[in-house]
A and B are shown apart, each in its own frame.
Chain A
Amino acid sequence: EAQVTQNPRYLITVTGKKLTVTCSQNMNHEYMSWYRQDPGLGLRQIYYSMNVEVTDKGDVPEGYKVSRKEKRNFPLILESPSPNQTSLYFCASSPGGGDSPLHFGNGTRLTVT
């Protein structure tokens, strides 16, 4: 089954403790992206990647890192999480090209205390 898989689904952590949210897609997609979703603010893009070893900042990249060493994986790294990073995070992928629909994972609900 074609899908985008994120792990973990839920994560509770403390301020400053480094964490990684994994994202993997099995559709051989070129493009991958991370979003966070907050009430009243909608989906905001954090980082995106158009291909292996190519990443770019989205609208809210501060406090996040990403890497794209393999085509299928696009982990999101929070080096020193803070409470304002408490959010619902989504990974998405697409074949690439300006008009390709995005396929989303089921989300990771992160709470930073």
Chain B
Amino acid sequence: SQKIEQNSEALNIQEGKTATLTCNYTNYSPAYLQWYRQDPGRGPVFLLLIRENEKEKRKERLKVTFDTTLKQSLFHITASQPADSATYLCALEGGYQKVTFGIGTKLQVIP
């Protein structure tokens, strides 16, 4: 069956360091992968999309990589700040625009 795995354990990181979050998937052949940020009690907010033919995508302090051989995406936040503390979700389309989300990884940036 199709599965998206994110490290459900919280990730604690010191302010200024680079945070790296992982998204692994099985039984998908996604043409693209998306990352969202979610704050407590709020709806997810789109951050970045990366296509299968793109190895890396950047937006300001954010960087996403996509390895279709390893079936893995890495999400990096450089120079992390306390305001980056949130849950980060990866999402894949499983066909027919049916978008499935991972469980998310909670990031805590410690001042």
Measured CB to CB, the residues of A under 8 A from B are 4, 31, 33, 35, 40-43, 45, 48, 50, 56, 58-59, 88, 90, 92, 96-99, 101-107, 109
Residue of A whose beta carbon sits closest to that of B104: A42
Indicate if the CB atoms of B97 and A43 lie closer than 8 Å: no
Indicate if the CB atoms of B49 and A107 lie closer than 8 Å: no
Indicate if the CB atoms of B46 and A102 lie closer than 8 Å: yes
Q: Which of B12-20, B36-44, B55-63, B76-84 forms part of the interface with chain A?
A: B36-44
Q: Which residues of B contact A103 (CB under 8 A)?
A: 46
Least distance between A88 CB and chain B CB atoms (Å): 8
A96 and B91 alpha carbons, distance in the complex (Å): 15
A107 and B40 alpha carbons, distance in the complex (Å): 11
Q: Among the listed B44, B49, B104, which residue makes an inter-chain contact with A104, where contact means beta carbons less than 8 Å apart? A: B44
Q: Which of A31, A102, A105 is packed against the most chain B CB atoms within 10 Å? A: A102
